[in-house]
Structure 1
Amino acid sequence: MRRLWLIFAQTVTVCLGVLFLVSTLRPQWLPGNQPPAGNSVAGGAAGPALPVVSYASAVARAAPSVVNVYTRKHVDVPLVPLPADPALRQLLRSLPGFTQRQNSTSLGSGVIVRADGYILTNYHVIESADSIEVSLRDGRQAAARIVGTDPESDLAVLKIDLDKLPTIVFDPEQSVRVGDVVLAIGNPFGVGQTTTQGIVSALGRNRLGINTYEDFIQTDAAINPGNSGGALIDTQGRLVGINTAIYSETGGSLGIGFAIPSGPAHQILNQIIQSGHVQRGWLGLEPQDITPDLAQAFHLGSAQGAIVARVLPRGPAARAGVQVGDIIQSLDGQPVRDSFDLLNRLAPLKAGHVARLGVMRSGKTLALDVTVGVRPAAQRPAGH
């Protein structure tokens, strides 16, 4: 009897040892420990499957329409360092044999906006180019010609002759908001088409000294050299902006990038295709912001509005009686925030439109009707 008890005890001990090893090393072998369908096991604990966040569908819709833009131009390079004196520099440049002509290449991006071959890009990407070549995502390449440029907004329209071109879709509602997820597609540093992700950090950025007309979308999606002219899209693959510039102390992305909104870009695109250039409304005056000191001097309740610093003789504003020192407070019944707001709202007005300015002069409010003219063509600001 004692012998049988000893055998039983040893058998139970061995079984318990085997059960311990299986439950530790292979718990899924035991009944009741199978994870239910659709659940994942992480660290030995089962839980509900998490939704996969992916923007692959948006990229698939937009990326084929984003192209690489390669430019070549001839530059005269001095054979020796030039002196600081401008007149002497000009004289030396004119001497035969003092400079050597070299080929310079650069790269950027562009967006196919129409199936008949029109491409939207930045003006600074193709500025002074002697030849332009476009490379599509599907491997096709084509020479491009310039249809028209708008240095004041840093936009340009190119044309290529290829068939079956993929085109991007514009956001018809222009509904981008601060905090929305956006994707930047382009060709940074020439490594090939690249997509980066971020959010809209701010809207209406201006006073950056980049363009004459500034109303940028700011984003932290990585934008690097070579991304200029590429697409900023929403999570549905629609174009919300043309990537244009970055703020950087190193030359690379610091999370502060700027894009031209798709709405103004689309208007400029249509004007260039129709007429080869852009026409903007113009009053023939130079507005300036109202500083707190000026607001106090003019006894204004706020610094809202734009003060007239200069009136061009025989211009539309001069003919309507606008004077230096007038404070423009409204345009066609809508308040004017500052000088940039005034310029941006004048730009889309057609020549011949009669605009009503709400003006404060010597403490009195006046209403002046001004017939809008066409803004004279201007060169790109120096230094760009």
Structure 2
Amino acid sequence: MKSTIAKVGVGFLLGATLVGGIATAATNSSPSLKACVDNRTQALYLSKDGTCSKARTLVDLSAGGLDAKSIAAAVTPSVVSIQVSTSTGSGNGSGSIYKTSATSSYIITNNHVVESAATSGKITVELLNGDLIDAKIVGRDANYDLAVIQVQRGNLPVITIGDSSKVSVGDPVVAIGSPLGLASTVTSGIVSALNRPVTTGSVGAESYVDAIQTDAAINPGNSGGALLDAQGRIIGVNSAIATLSSGGTAGSIGLGFSIPINEAKRVIDEIIATGKSTRPVLGVNLDATYTGVGAKILKLVPGEGAEKAGIPAGSVIRSIDGVKTNDQVSAIVRIRSYAPGAVVTVLVDLPTGGQKSFKVTLGSTPSS
């Protein structure tokens, strides 16, 4: 059966594409459960005898344990349910309390949860105690599928920020959100893969995510909710799920995708500070008709990083900082995982033959 990617806010389900193969995910952690991580693809495979081939690394899924009950008790008050109503319909999603003062609080969620109310409509936040509070949009970024909303209620419990760069395949995780409108739902699983290039949305309005893949059950309405590590720290913003296109299935099939919090935090902080955000640019236009392996540069943007670094037009990008780019989308996703001003190493196949690495300083452009 064919699988597709869908954003997971009820009333906002959109078709999309998963780029690259699907990792074989293990089931929830249990004592002495071991798995093998493919050193090249980062896919996860269960190990029946506790050993792996030379091309794979053994990981212990039970190491460290996961106290989902304690995590839920500590973190659930920091995760809210979001209801959106407009003249054309309604939907719901989730959010996490990111920052608070004596009088107001900022909540992070997905852009696709609140975008329908950007010009008109009503956004309501429901706290754990059942209180309903009107919210307003502070800013949105469709490129990263992130948004910040604000409520006039202070001293709310703020979620603890983790470090997504320290996440490994096989780590236990907990997802908290409001699937199908069922507030404060808690599910658990593991990290199935990292750096999974995922794009969601309609043509011309795509969101590109360098995603954390998890088998923790994520369903419609979980969008904007928290993916937590074993210490209850947010490591990702739940954004999309893979669904089986045949039969119309729209629920969890064990393939959920979250925006890494390190990537999200830069965008969120910019929105809170200015109401807007930026994204990095390599300074190239890619050839959408290219069907080979890699991302082919159609032309260079004058004055931007790629031109300054000396990359010739017609080159094919094969990797960025050692991470393979199999196609155009994976190249875009990889670049957008950095901050503007970052210096990256770009390996290309030269149009004249051979390969060469270039150090490129990423530029900056307003995001939307």
Q: Distance in 2 between matches of 1:71 and 1:259?
A: 21
- Give aligned-pair identity as a percent: 40
**Counterpart among 230, 233, 249 of residue 228 in structure 2:** 233
Indicate the residue corresponding to 2:35 in structure 1: none
Shift of 1:329: 5.6
Between Structure 1 and Structure 2, which shows a larger proportion of helix residues? 1
| Aligned-partner residue type, residue 69 of structure 1 | I
Indicate the residue corresponding to 2:284 in structure 1: 285
* Secondary structure, counterpart of 2:243 in structure 1: coil
| Aligned-partner residue type, residue 363 of structure 1 | G
Is the counterpart of residue 108 in structure 1 residue 108 in structure 2? no
Number of residue pairs matched by the alignment: 286
Q: Distance in 2 between matches of 1:176 and 1:354?
A: 23
Indicate the residue corresponding to 2:215 in structure 1: 220
Indicate the residue corresponding to 2:70 in structure 1: 57
Q: Distance in 1 between matches of 2:367 and 2:339?
A: 16
Shift of 1:287: 3.4
Shift of 1:320: 6.5
Q: Distance in 2 between matches of 1:173 and 1:325?
A: 34
Between Structure 1 and Structure 2, which shows a larger proportion of strand residues? 2
Is the counterpart of residue 187 in structure 1 residue 178 in structure 2? yes
Shift of 1:66: 0.3
Is the counterpart of residue 176 in structure 1 residue 175 in structure 2? no
Query: 2:279, 2:367 within 8 Å by CA — same for their partners in 1?
Result: no
**Counterpart among 315, 327, 332 of residue 316 in structure 2:** 327
Query: 1:243, 1:260 within 8 Å by CA — same for their partners in 2?
Result: yes
Shift of 1:122: 0.5
Stretches of structure 2 that go unaligned for 5 or more consecutive residues are: 1-64
Q: Which 10-residue stretch deviates more, 147-156 or 339-348?
A: 339-348
CA radius of gyration, larger in = 1
Give the alignment's TM-score, normalised by structure 2. 0.68
Is the counterpart of residue 126 in structure 1 residue 114 in structure 2? yes
Deviations 1:179-212 (A, max 9, x none): 2221111111113321111121211111444544
Q: Distance in 2 between matches of 1:243 and 1:369?
A: 33
- Cα 1:220–1:310 change in 2 (3 A) is same
- Cα 1:170–1:310 change in 2 (3 A) is same
| Aligned-partner residue type, residue 176 of structure 1 | V
Indicate the residue corresponding to 1:163 in structure 2: 154
**Counterpart among 280, 298, 308 of residue 297 in structure 2:** 308
Stretches of structure 1 that go unaligned for 5 or more consecutive residues are: 1-51, 76-103, 295-302, 379-384
Deviations 1:310-344 (A, max 9, x none): 3346766457665431234676xx44621455434
Shift of 1:70: 0.7
Indicate the residue corresponding to 1:25 in structure 2: none
Indicate the residue corresponding to 1:74 in structure 2: 87
Deviations 1:142-189 (A, max 9, x none): 111111111011110111111220011111364222222211111111
| Aligned-partner residue type, residue 236 of structure 2 | G
- Cα 1:268–1:370 change in 2 (3 A) is same
Query: 2:197, 2:333 within 8 Å by CA — same for their partners in 1?
Result: no
- Cα 1:215–1:316 change in 2 (3 A) is closer
Query: 1:58, 1:234 within 8 Å by CA — same for their partners in 2?
Result: no
**Counterpart among 112, 115, 140 of residue 149 in structure 1:** 140
Query: 1:144, 1:160 within 8 Å by CA — same for their partners in 2?
Result: yes
Structure with larger RCO (C-alpha < 8 A, sep 6+): 2
**Counterpart among 362, 365, 368 of residue 375 in structure 1:** 365
